[in-house]
Amino acid sequence: QHQIELYIEDNLKPFKISQKLANKYKFSTTILDTNRVLTIQQPLEQYDIKTNTTYYNERKLFHLLDNINEYDFAHKYSIFNYQFMHSYFNCFTTKQLFLRFLFYITACLDQNVSEIRYLLSIYEMLNDLLDKNPDNYSIEIVSRLLPMLNNQNAQQITQLLKQCDEHSLKHSALISPYYQSQLHSPWNNYLSKLSINKYIYTITSDDDNLYLVSNEQIISINIGLYELKQKYEISYEKTSDNTSPTAMFRSSY
């Protein structure tokens, strides 16, 4: 636990001294804010403006990952933490994450493990996407887990979604359509189901509309009015294995 508390992001664990020492050095309290390490803790991620390069603190990642499957209290600082997971996918692969939790999720059945198991199933579905484009972590996760926002049985996932909303713009300009979880229109359930479909290729927008592109449809939504404008059925002749609805949509839009 000491190792986890030492290496979590933005954490300086207070140091408690005796009342005798507090009186000797004329401190007003016995609780001192201090960083008990040889050097100042570096963040998980640092951007070098001179070289236009982002560097990741693999040492801190390694210490937070060490035996992570054995400590429930560590999960809010790691697998349910946006900054940690974004840094992780920029340094390691999804497969390595599965191996760490393989025994843990099969041996335990509590609520927290259920959330981990569900989250890992999403990572498994997004395996190639996260390994190739880790900066899209937020939009990929939020667009699929949004129906669980504020669910009393998914409190840690809810915190992860809120962190994605707070921090993701530093890495990607793609926005998460949060109004899907708040609207109660006839098409809302359909849209929520579509958003977690593995055949969704992209979510994009212009000034007035949001577009969801699947393998069969392009759905156009008026952002200002929150109404479904039109569904376009995709019909095309496949010219090569690399042809996708996303590519066709971009070329025509």
CA distances from 125 to 35, 53, 108, 122, 185 (A): 40, 29, 22, 5, 28
pLDDT of amino acid 26: 85
Q: Is the dihedral of CA 119, 121, 127, 129 positive or negative?
A: negative
**Tokens (6 digits) for 83:** 């900054």
Helix axes 111-125, 94-107, angle to 10 degrees: 150
What per-residue confidence (pLDDT) applies to 150? 81
* pLDDT for position 231: 52
CA-to-CA distance for 205 and 226, rounded, in angstroms? 13
Contact 194/185 with Cβ under 8 angstroms? no
Distance between CA atoms of residues 72 and 151, nearest Å: 20
Q: Are 214 and 232 in contact, with CB atoms under 8 Å apart? A: no
Position 197 scores a pLDDT of: 52
Q: What is the model's pLDDT at position 208?
A: 66
Residue 59 has a pLDDT of 82
Tens-level pLDDT at each residue, the chain (253 residues): 545 555 555 555 666 788 888 888 888 888 876 655 545 667 888 888 888 888 888 888 887 777 666 667 778 888 888 988 999 899 888 888 877 776 655 555 455 567 888 888 888 888 888 888 888 898 888 888 887 788 887 888 889 988 988 888 888 777 665 544 444 444 444 444 555 455 555 656 666 666 767 666 777 766 555 455 555 554 444 444 444 444 443 434 3
Q: What is the pLDDT of residue 179?
A: 47
**What are the structure tokens assigned to 161, written together?**
């979604």
| Beta carbons within 8 Å of 131's beta carbon, 6+ residues apart | 89, 93, 94
Q: How high is the pLDDT of residue 40?
A: 60
Q: What is the pLDDT of residue 206?
A: 62
Q: Where are the domains of the chain?
A: 199-253
